[in-house]
Every structure is written in C-alpha cells, then in structure tokens.
Amino acid sequence: MKSITQSPLVIACTFLWIGFISAISFMEAPLKFQAPGITLPLGLGIGRLIFATLNKVEWVLATGIVSGFLLTGARRLQPGQFIFIVPLLLLVVQTVWLLPKLDAQAALYMRGEHPATSDLHIYYLICEVAKATSLTTGGVKQFSV
C-alpha cells in the first residue's frame, strides 16, 4: 500500500501526538484530582506544568508533521493532507488564547482567590477532541492509496 506522504515522519508525529493528547488530556487531567491528598491548588499547579509542557511537545510534533510534508517535495497539499490544518489552527488558538487565560485563572485559585466561572476548560476540551479526531482521520488517510 502506498502512502500519500511517503513520510514516516508524518505518520510517527501524528500518532505520537494522538497518544500525548489521549494520555494527558483525556486521562491524567481528570484523574489527578482523584488522587489522595491532591488539593485544588496543588492539582492546578501540576496541571499548569503538565499542560505547558504538553503544548511545547505538540509544537515539536506539529513541526515534524509540516517538515514531513515539505520533505516529500510536493508543491501543494494533497486531499488527504488538508485535515492537518485543523489541529495546527487549534494548537495556535490554545497557545495564544486558551492556555494563557487558563494559566491566569489557575494562578488566582492558587493564591486563594475565586475568579468568576468560565467555559474555558470546556473550550479547551473541545479543542482536544477536535485535534484528536482530525489527527486520527489524517493519520489513517496517510495509509490510503
């Protein structure tokens, strides 16, 4: 079976990215607050560190995907590659808007303040689901003829 990209780098980065999202956003984040002794400020401090690191790893993987496409020598995106625009755009939204807002909100809680409730976590989760879905779709399409 011939791959659209001819790039193992694209495939590897795609499925690693899905794994990071699944392990951290869908598993670690909700479970950490169930651990004995984890207070809200402590959990938020851990979350800030983990999600800041995840964001950096995601940029490395996104760069790997883009590099993989560029290394194939194609002059334009193929039909199965357009789906990768979705996680890239969502990563930008998370980096420049959601993570700074969530970080500031967590900092307030950690100082003992109680900021107004917001839907930022829901927006972040929606982005994570959309990224995982589009990456899965794009990754599977890399194996089509």
Residue 15 CA from chain centroid, whole number? 12
DSSP assigned state of 143: T
Of the chain, the end-to-end C-alpha distance in Å amounts to: 6
Token pair for 141: 């399409």
How many other C-beta atoms are found inside a 10 Å radius of the C-beta of residue 68?
21
d(CA 72, CA 75): 9
pLDDT grade, residue 72 (50/70/90)?
confident
Residue 119 has pLDDT above 60, yes or no: yes
> 0.85 exceeded by the pTM?
yes
Mean pLDDT for 106-119 is 93
Q: Cα angle at 9 between 8 and 14, to 5 degrees?
A: 100
In the structure encoding, which two tokens stand for residue 29, read together?
Answer: 């984040």
Q: What tokens appear for 108 in the block? A: 């307030």
The predicted-structure confidence for 8-65, as pLDDT tens digits, reads as follows 999 999 999 999 999 999 999 999 999 999 999 999 999 999 999 999 999 999 999 9
Q: Phi and psi at residue 77, in whole multiples of 5°?
A: -70, 140
Triad 94, 96, 101: Cα angle to 5°: 75
Residue pair 23/58 in contact by the 8 Å Cβ criterion? no
